Structure 1
Amino acid sequence: MTREDTVRLAREDFRKRRRSRWLRRLRPWLLLLVVLGVLATCCYAVFFSSWLAARQVRVAGLDGLSRSRVVATARVPLGTPLARVDLGAVRARVARIPSVRAVDVSRSWPHTVRIAVTERVPVAVIDRGHGLQALDRAGVTFGHFSHPPAGLPLVRSSSGARADALAEAGKVAASLPPEVLRRVDHVDVATVDRIELRLHDGRTVMWGSAAQSAAKAEVLDVLLRRRHVQLIDVSVPGRPTTR
């Protein structure tokens, strides 16, 4: 091998080593560029493109409410990227429906907003100047009835009855066993601890608050067998009185 060949080979070897060092230094930057490119593509796909847009609404847990009302109230912005749909705003709008007790809103990839509704359960009906409405055990009124539905007692409240008194009346109505509920014409509410049952036969039961309702119902079942009694006080079930 001539000297020229040796020099040429040495130069080629030097260029290879220099290129190899340059590639080793460049490799992390190339990898970073690839990662950034993938992240940018994913970010665009999730937050800005129509590839993962909200296209449908699924509603679960309905009983008395209609799906159309929930969807119309929710106002889910279909066509918006699913990741950018404001679930809190959707939840707040659906929660404003009077008969909704609780609501959960979530994303179901790739194109669905799920709304899970828990409806209020009526335990009585009440008329506070707006027609007959349902009353739940929290004292919240909702819905409207043209006639009192079977199985739900009518609650009558004084004009000054507060929300906590209505809530207590709801708890009382929810706690009444069927054998007592069948006898009740309506429930009178004045305050939290002044709740009375008016029976179909004209007798009055002073119930008090919702505390110890199970014990009160047991005592009442015994006292109702006394036909001559017109007023029964079970507000303190351990010391009932009659007149």
Structure 2
Amino acid sequence: MSPTSTGVQDTTERTRKRFARRQWARRWLAWRPLVAVVLVLLLVVGLLWLVFFSSYLSVQGVDVRGTSLLTTSEVEKAAAVPDGEALARVDLDRVRTRVEALAPVRSADVSREWPDQVRIDVTERVPVAVVQIAGHLQGMDEEGVVFRDYAKAPPDLPLVETGSDTGSDALREAALVVAALPADLASRVDHVQVDTIDRITLVLRDDRTVRWGSSADSDLKATVLAGLLAATKAQTYDVSVPGQPTTSG
């Protein structure tokens, strides 16, 4: 073969290869967006499987915080968090509802603690008074919820005495009254007698009585009573209508 023929063949081969490369480049430009979409979809599917269905991010425990009246095991039992379930699939609202059904729990905040824990922050109820029900002493919070037992009434909490037909509404009203009492007045109260929602009476430590009525205008009633106690010596004070207080005895 002559040198001229060889040169022509080489040129033709190089031309063919350049043409093939350009063809592949055009095809890649056309397919590149589709390949990118497929890769993104594969990545998303992989992440969804990892988070929602794999065992790598499943529940391995419960982190309970904020309890003193309740034990960790009591909260965990009430929460009933499914062990081994994907953490992302745990219904946090249902867990919170179950925990808040416990009497000592005022509120609960439930969150995911990645990679494998459910965290439960508990706010427990705080007693404002002790109520005697069927011979048992029980703590009552400011919402009138009875939530714990006492063997002996704490000296720093007023005792609420009820009648046999005292309802939960009246208890709630009494709790609002106790919670509204200023510290100096609360320290003088021996117990609170509850008959109905609007017939609540404070019995002071020196056996004097205060007809309080309902919890309405409690701040004003406390101010009026402070003035009466300082100005008038009587056995009974009536501030149920604070604009027209009376005394007797």
- Superposed pair shares fold, TM > 0.5: yes
| Aligned-residue CA RMSD (Å) | 2.2
User: Could you give the per-residue CA deviations for residues 163-210 of structure 1, whole angstroms, max 9, x where no partner exists?
Assistant: 322111001111223332233222112222211112233322100122
- Helix, strand or coil for the counterpart of 2:131? strand
Name which of 70, 78, 83 aligns with 1:78.
83
Summarize the alignment of residues 60-209 of structure 1 with structure 2, pairs less than 5 Å apart.
60-129=65-134, 131-209=136-214
In structure 1, how many angstroms separate the alpha carbons of the residues matched to 2:228 and 2:12? 120
- Structure 2 residues without counterparts, runs of 5 or longer: none
Cα deviation, residue 46, structure 1: 0.7
**TM-score relative to the length of structure 2:** 0.87
> Larger radius of gyration, structure 1 or 2?
2
CA gap of 1:238–1:130, structure 2 versus 1, over 3 A, is same
In structure 1, how many angstroms separate the alpha carbons of the residues matched to 2:232 and 2:240? 20
Q: Percent identity?
A: 47
Cα deviation, residue 215, structure 1: 2.8
- Helix, strand or coil for the counterpart of 2:68? coil
Q: Does 1:217 align with 2:222?
A: yes
Cα deviation, residue 107, structure 1: 0.8
In structure 2, how many angstroms separate the alpha carbons of the residues matched to 1:202 and 1:11? 114
In structure 1, how many angstroms separate the alpha carbons of the residues matched to 2:182 and 2:23? 91
- Helix, strand or coil for the counterpart of 1:156? strand
In structure 1, how many angstroms separate the alpha carbons of the residues matched to 2:138 and 2:11? 103
Structure 2 match to 1:51: 56
- Helix, strand or coil for the counterpart of 1:137? coil
User: Could you give the per-residue CA deviations for residues 123-180 of structure 1, whole angstroms, max 9, x where no partner exists?
Assistant: 1111232722111111111111111112111112233333322111001111223332
CA gap of 1:227–1:146, structure 2 versus 1, over 3 A, is farther
Cα deviation, residue 54, structure 1: 2.0
- The number of residue pairs the alignment matches comes to 243
- Kindly provide the amino acid, as one letter, of the partner of residue 63 in structure 2: R
**TM-score relative to the length of structure 1:** 0.89
- Structure 1 residues without counterparts, runs of 5 or longer: none
Structure 1 match to 2:247: 242
In structure 2, how many angstroms separate the alpha carbons of the residues matched to 1:189 and 1:16? 95
Q: Does 1:232 align with 2:237?
A: yes
Structure 2 match to 1:42: 47
In structure 2, how many angstroms separate the alpha carbons of the residues matched to 1:156 and 1:207? 15
Which stretch shifts more, 180-189 or 202-211? 180-189
